[in-house]
Amino acid sequence: MRTSHGGGGLARRAITGRGGRRLAGVTAAALVAVSAAACSGSGSDATPAAAGGGASSGAAAGAGCAANATPLTFWGWSAGYDLAVKEFNKTHPDICVKLQNAGATTAEYVKLNDVLKAGNGAPDVAQLEYFEVPSFEITHSLVDLSQYGVGSSKSDIAPAAWAQVSQGSALYAMPVDLGPLALYYNSKQFSAAGVTVPTTWDQFSAAADKLHTADANAAITNFDPESTQDVLALMQQYGAFPFTYGGGQSVGINFTGAAQTAFANYWQGLIDKHEVTTAADFSPAQWSNLDSGADAARLSPAWGPVGMQLSIKNTVGDWRAAPMPQAQAGQNLAGNWGGSTLAVVKGSKHAKQAAEFAQWFGGSADAWKILSGPVAGAFPGYVPLLNDAGFQGTTLPISADSKPNAVFSDAAQHLAQTQWPPIMTAALTQWTSTFAGVTKGTETLPQAFQTFQKQMTDYAKAQGFTVTNG
């Protein structure tokens, strides 16, 4: 049993997390079946790519189209997508996009996989989170957008976002939003404890020692071992991302290398000293810890502050953003947690027009005026907006007159690049049971990494992949 951190609300956390839906098993058919990100529940920190119900459950935004317009069906779930579709239809009268909500994340991926197997009923365009793109690409279910000139948008997209959807010259989806990490800290608590904002992970550990020495009930942050995407984003930023993939049947899996072991030992050390909490991400316990001083900081994605300010009361106005601590002094690397793409589904009769829509959606100022607005609230992978002074100057009540977007915007352009493998469904399904012992204190994080290494290697080999561990 957990001692002090409470149960699990869900927002942008893995479907296998505490309080989430647990899959019964992992089979060969699971390669494309489910998503790792948030459920379609209503967690208070839900983001556009996590919150279901943003799009109409039926056809949307197609009304008023010209009778001779090329029809496109778009499956998507995020808030504000209907507004963007309406704007596209208004400004592109030769194309008529109809938005349908086929379910958020997991539900959509299952349905898309089913209709692809059946050979009918697939949309022209589908919203896919970054880590799902390789699972659909390896089954040859996605159109290479480079043949339609979508590659011309590359300079306008954050490099790490582009890298996650491309293989060589091929482009399998158009990036939309991102979730770059920053250190989001309680400035009053840091100041009262005499803690300087850390710029390296060594300094972060020293700050944790100082906070906990001054107040035995205080920890520097929360580390949820069972939050798959959270941990993987931190590993990415640390230079210890465990997966490599460049297409084809070879997959790199490395949870036991030098960098990965150093990462695991670092966080296990903080857990052992009770200098981090291990509450379920997005749970009432996590919000209480942040609002009471039990946690002095959050390693937050860019979409985090908006939801966080709805869940705390006492410390609104005290929070500030700073760049993530670095493994080595002088580095400037961030990790990414979340975000979606638009992919054109193989078999579309109007792939050219679908590619035009996807490119506009993720790579135009007109689309981003809507997507970054108050209804959608997406954090852009679109470089012109990331560099925009007005966007960087946005303020939030939780941060008073400081400008967190400036920090998150810089982080978005310094993300360590990742290569998601086409085994993420299995990885995310297995993660919770493997790492639950770390939360309970019955196993260590390095031990869980060793176990997971074997589980994923065995699984990948059983699916016909060649596995490298270097």
* Confidence tier at 18 by pLDDT (50, 70, 90): very low
Of 19-33, 141-155, 374-388, which range is least confident? 19-33
pLDDT at 318: 98
pLDDT at 61: 57
At 293-324, the pLDDT tens digits run 999 999 999 999 999 999 999 999 999 999 99
Each domain of the chain, given as residue ranges in start order, spans: 28-178+338-395, 181-336+420-468
CATH class of 28-178+338-395: alpha beta
* Confidence tier at 423 by pLDDT (50, 70, 90): very high
| Nearest-angstrom CA–CA distance, 413 and 157 | 9
* Confidence tier at 417 by pLDDT (50, 70, 90): confident
Q: Give the predicted TM-score (pTM) of the model.
A: 0.87
At 344-360, the pLDDT tens digits run 999 999 999 999 999 99
* Mean pLDDT, the chain, whole residue set: 88
Confidence check: pLDDT of 20 > 90: no
Residue 277 DSSP one-character state: E
Task: Decide whether 28-178+338-395 matches 181-336+420-468 in CATH topology.
Answer: yes
At 219-265, the pLDDT tens digits run 999 999 999 999 999 999 999 999 999 899 999 999 999 999 999 99
Tokens of 293: 């001083």
CATH class of 181-336+420-468: alpha beta
Burial 389-402 (b: 16+ CB within 10 A, else e): eebbeeebebbeeb
Question: DSSP letters of 89-105?
Answer: HHH-TTEEEEEE---ST
* Confidence tier at 408 by pLDDT (50, 70, 90): very high
* Residue among 414, 345, 412 at smallest CA distance from 379: 412
